[in-house]
């Protein structure tokens, strides 16, 4: 996560979910990652950086991450997030 | 309005890449996205620098809007095709804004930058050179823009559609979750507003759902099409997406976007707020 800086953000008050998207072991830049709440509803979406990195500022609870990339590639990952903690997730397409 | 008058697909855009009367305009939340690459021939409009007054919280005035479009080489009789990231949120905002200043020939690229990228279509770095024009705007059309007093008066009367995510609506989050949550305003929503997230109007690839699906969605969630409607979100960009659906795709006559949205309403002294947490 070297390319997404948390500088200036009070991590103690935030519920950070971050990670990387890979395809065949390689970072997947330009993938779309959705954050879905526990009822499956869209909450946010970001595009991964050149190193496949993404980050959300959520709230404590269970979330689903869904990555979408070219070639109809998609994959899900589930995470439990806590306030003041950076929750890491990796998604393989 | 027929869908084809306001929405074009990626194939249509590829067929018109060299049409001098069709101007592609990219509008993103991440204004650096254009610098990385963009659809060939597209010019950029920066929603913060170009579309907002830099002192007051308001739009740029008519003179500045005319200067902006003239400088980008856009003429009054050009067809503008808007697209961008975030499932076209800011492109939809620009669409609504261009309509407000009276540009008739404006369309959205269905699915925006995301669908284009997922299709692996061509993106270039080259910035086009367009000759300056003398663009003339109309007076702002405030029949499509809501202000705070009208929102307060509409509680329990008009359809109020809050298009933010369920967690923002309930008050659990203060901003969409790709942004830090530190905010000054109160959390919650306008009383009697229905929570119909913008995302329900779109497919996963960012394209709009069919007219039948959209009609069923809003009516199923309790929007009364015989009443006027005001859509809002946090800063008015996601609600511009829903304004586009209701006013342009479903042809509902009296739909306004409240661009002050939650960052204004949630900061007002003395107004009613509902919060579910």
Residues of B with Cβ-Cβ distance to A55 under 8 angstroms: 178
- pLDDT tier for residue A9 given thresholds of 50, 70 and 90: confident
Q: What pLDDT, in 10s, does the model give residues B14-31?
A: 999 999 999 999 999 887
pLDDT at B182: 67
Residue A42, token pair as written in the block? 């869209």
pLDDT at A11: 85
Distance from A47 to chain B by nearest Cα, in Å? 9
Using a CB–CB cut-off of 8 Å, the residues of A that contact B are 9-10, 13-15, 30, 32, 34-35, 37, 39, 41-47, 55-59, 68-71
Residue A1 has pLDDT above 50, yes or no: no
Q: What pLDDT, in 10s, does the model give residues B81-100?
A: 999 998 999 999 999 999 99
DSSP structural state of residue B275 = -
pLDDT at A51: 95
From CA B80, how far away is CA B45, in angstroms rounded?
12
pLDDT at A19: 96
- Cβ density class B240-271: b for 16+ within 10 Å, e for less: bbbbbbbbbbbebeebbbbbbbbbbbbeeeee
Distance from B238 to chain A by nearest Cα, in Å? 12
**How does the average pLDDT of chain A come out, rounded?**
92
Residues of B with Cβ-Cβ distance to A16 under 8 angstroms: none
Tell which residue, B146, B138, B130, has the closest CA to residue B62.
B138
Residues of A with Cβ-Cβ distance to B166 under 8 angstroms: 37, 39, 41, 43
Nearest to B166 among A37, A47, A55 (CB): A37
Residue B207 has pLDDT above 50, yes or no: yes
Cβ <8 Å between B117 and A59? no
Q: What percent of chain B has pLDDT over 70?
A: 99
Domains of chain A: residue spans and CATH: 11-92 (2.60.40.10)
Residues of A with Cβ-Cβ distance to B199 under 8 angstroms: 41-42
From CA B162, how far away is CA B195, in angstroms rounded?
5
Nearest to B118 among A9, A59, A70 (CB): A70
Cβ <8 Å between B182 and A58? no
Residue of B nearest to A11 (CA): B180
Residues of B with Cβ-Cβ distance to A30 under 8 angstroms: 117
Residue of A nearest to B169 (CA): A43
Residue of B nearest to A30 (CA): B117
| Across B107-134, average pLDDT | 96
Distance from A44 to chain B by nearest Cα, in Å? 5
pLDDT at A2: 47
Which residues of B does the annotation mark as catalytic? 233
Contacts of residue B95, defined as CB under 8 A and 6 or more positions apart, other chains included, come to B82, B106, B107, B108, B240, B244, B248
**How does the average pLDDT of chain B come out, rounded?**
95
CA dist list (Å): B43 to B71, B82, B84, B262: 10, 10, 11, 30
Cβ <8 Å between B178 and A10? no
Residue A14, token pair as written in the block? 């935030």
Cβ <8 Å between A58 and B85? no
- pLDDT tier for residue B1 given thresholds of 50, 70 and 90: low
Domains of chain B: residue spans and CATH: 3-139 (3.40.250.10), 144-265 (3.40.250.10)
pLDDT at B178: 86
Nearest to B166 among A9, A41, A44 (CB): A41
Residues of B with Cβ-Cβ distance to A59 under 8 angstroms: 167, 172-173, 181
Q: The tokens 């919280």 sit on which residue? A: B57
Using a CB–CB cut-off of 8 Å, the residues of B that contact A are 30, 85-87, 114, 117-120, 165-167, 172-173, 175-182, 197, 199, 204-205
* CB neighbour class for B97 (10 Å; exposed up to 12, middle 13-18, buried from 19): buried
Q: What pLDDT, in 10s, does the model give residues A37-82?
A: 999 999 999 999 999 999 999 999 999 999 999 999 999 999 999 9
Residue B244 has pLDDT above 70, yes or no: yes
| Across A80-92, average pLDDT | 95
Q: What pLDDT, in 10s, does the model give residues B134-190?
A: 999 999 999 999 999 999 999 999 999 999 999 999 999 988 888 887 676 899 999
Residue B44 has pLDDT above 50, yes or no: yes
| Across B205-225, average pLDDT | 97
């Amino acid at each position: 996560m070297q390319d997404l800086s948390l500088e200036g953000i009070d991590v103690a008050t935030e519920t950070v979910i971050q990670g990387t998207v890979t395809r065949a072991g390689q970072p997947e830049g330009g993938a779309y990652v959705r954050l879905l709440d526990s009822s499956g509803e869209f909450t946010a979406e970001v595009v991964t950086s050149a190193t496949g990195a993404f980050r959300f500022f959520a709230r404590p609870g269970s979330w689903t991450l869904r990555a979408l990339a070219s070639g109809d590639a998609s994959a899900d990952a589930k995470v439990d997030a806590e306030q003041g903690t950076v929750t890491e997730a990796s998604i393989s397409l | 309005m027929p869908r084809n008058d306001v929405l074009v697909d990626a194939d249509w855009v590829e067929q018109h890449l060299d049409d001098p009367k069709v101007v592609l305009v990219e509008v993103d939340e991440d204004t650096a996205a254009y610098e990385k690459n963009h659809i060939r021939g597209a010019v950029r409009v920066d929603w913060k620098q170009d579309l907002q007054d830099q002192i007051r919280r308001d739009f740029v005035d008519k003179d500045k809007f005319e200067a902006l479009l003239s400088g980008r080489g856009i003429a009054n009789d050009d067809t503008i095709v808007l697209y961008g990231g975030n499932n076209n949120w800011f492109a939809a905002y620009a669409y609504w804004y261009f309509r407000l200043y009276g540009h008739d020939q404006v369309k959205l690229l269905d699915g925006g930058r995301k669908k284009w990228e997922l299709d692996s279509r061509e993106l270039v770095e080259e910035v086009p050179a367009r000759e300056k024009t003398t663009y003339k705007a109309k007076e702002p059309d405030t029949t499509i823009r809501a202000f705070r007093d009208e929102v307060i008066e509409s509680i329990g009367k008009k359809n109020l559609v809050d298009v933010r995510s369920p967690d923002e609506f309930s008050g659990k989050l203060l901003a969409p979750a790709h942004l830090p949550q530190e905010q000054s305003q109160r959390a919650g929503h306008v009383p009697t507003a229905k929570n119909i997230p913008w995302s329900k109007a779109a497919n996963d690839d960012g394209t709009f759902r069919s007219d039948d699906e959209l009609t069923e969605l809003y009516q199923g969630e309790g929007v009364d099409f015989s009443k006027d409607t005001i859509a809002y979100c946090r800063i008015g960009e996601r609600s511009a997406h829903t304004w586009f659906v209701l006013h342009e795709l479903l042809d509902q006559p009296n739909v306004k976007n409240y661009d002050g949205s939650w960052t204004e309403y949630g900061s007002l002294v003395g107004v009613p707020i509902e919060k579910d947490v």
